[in-house]
Amino acid sequence: MSQSIVSINEDNTAIWLAFKEGSWEAYTQLYNIHFKALNNYGYKFTRDVNIIEDAVHDLFIKLWTNRATLGNPTSVKNYLYKSLRGVIFRKMQVQSRFVDLECETDYNFSFEISFDHQIIANEEERELQLKIKTVVKTLPARQQEIIYLRFYEGLGYEEIADIMEININSAYKLLYKAFNNLQGALKTSKLAVIIGLYSCLGAYVYKN
């Protein structure tokens, strides 16, 4: 499963090749195609827009400066996600060395999705979303990120492992952990529906 499950507008390969040849127009296109998605992804790690903008800036400077030596990624978007993630982490590590040093188990930063501005008229759907929100919030950042990449970005496990810079086994393990953590949390909260959502992630581990 090296291909994206959801391959929306993934015909960026031509643009990527032109950009590598030094086409300013292709470079501009890359920026305009991915700017919004990159900001959205970055926003999950920090609410500090300056950090995100600095990271996007640094990422694109690096792209142009090193264009001649860049490879041909299977998915341009995934490549940009992975790079942006790295830049943001470095920036935030510099900024928060004090807070970091004591917690090595999880990320030194949070991964946070928000539903605050969603207006849902349907009562049943609103209830379901509230449940999801409550359970997801209790998960460690890495587990939240893996769920996000899977269900929001629609990525395969190989792609997730690549972006998060872990090996595929670790990706499975991480999901397994998310699953275990949730079982504990859900026992008390009776969110039977959500159990389905996470059991499936656990089941993936066995399947592979």
Partner 1 sequence: MDIANYSTYTLQNFLDDDDFLRFVISPSQKDVNFWQSVTAVYPTQKENIEEASKIILAYRKQDVFTNEANQQKVWDRIEATLQKQGAAKQTVFQLNRFLRVAASILLVSSIGIAYWMVQYNSKTEISTAFGELRTVTLPDNSVVVLNGNSKLSYSGNWDKNSREVWISGEGFFKVNHLNKDPRHIKTTERFIVHCNDVNIEVLGTSFNVRNRHNKTNVGLVTGKIRLEYLDQKSNNNRAIIMKPGDYVEYAQKHVVAQTKLAVPAKLTEWTNHELLFNNSTLAQIAEVMADDYGYHVDFANPQLANLKIEGEISVSNIGELIETITTTLPVKITQTDKNITITSINP
Q: Which of residues 158-187 bind partner 1 (CB under 8 A)?
A: none
| Contact status: 70 vs partner 1 (CB under 8 A) | no
Q: Given candidates 53, 70, 93, 187, which one binds partner 1 under the rule CB under 8 A?
A: 53
CA-CA distance, 154 to 118, in Å (whole number)? 20
How is 34-97 classified by DSSP, letter by letter?
HHHHHHHHHHTT-S-HHHHHHHHHHHHHHHHHTGGG----S-HHHHHHHHHHHHHHHHHHHHTH
120: how many CB neighbours lie within 10 A of its CB? 13
CA-CA distance, 71 to 201, in Å (whole number)? 32
Q: For residue 112, what are its two tokens?
A: 């946070």
Rg (CA), the chain: 18
Q: How many residues bind partner 1 (CB under 8 A)?
A: 61
| Contact status: 201 vs partner 1 (CB under 8 A) | yes
Q: Given candidates 8, 68, 103, 121, which one binds partner 1 under the rule CB under 8 A?
A: 8
CB of 148 to partner 1, least distance (A): 9
Q: Given candidates 146, 164, 186, 194, which one binds partner 1 under the rule CB under 8 A?
A: 194
| Contact status: 72 vs partner 1 (CB under 8 A) | no
CA-CA distance, 146 to 85, in Å (whole number)? 13
CA-CA distance, 163 to 149, in Å (whole number)? 9
Q: Which of residues 111-140 bind partner 1 (CB under 8 A)?
A: 113-118, 120, 125, 128-129, 132, 136
CB of 18 to partner 1, least distance (A): 17
Burial class of residue 107 (count of CB atoms within 10 Å of its CB; 0-12, 13-18, 19+)? middle
Give the footprint of partner 1 on this chain (CB under 8 A). Answer: 1, 5-6, 8, 28, 31-32, 35-36, 39-40, 43, 46, 48-49, 51-53, 56-57, 60-61, 64-65, 92, 95-99, 101-102, 109, 113-118, 120, 125, 128-129, 132, 136, 147, 150-152, 154, 156, 193-194, 196-197, 199-201, 203-204, 207
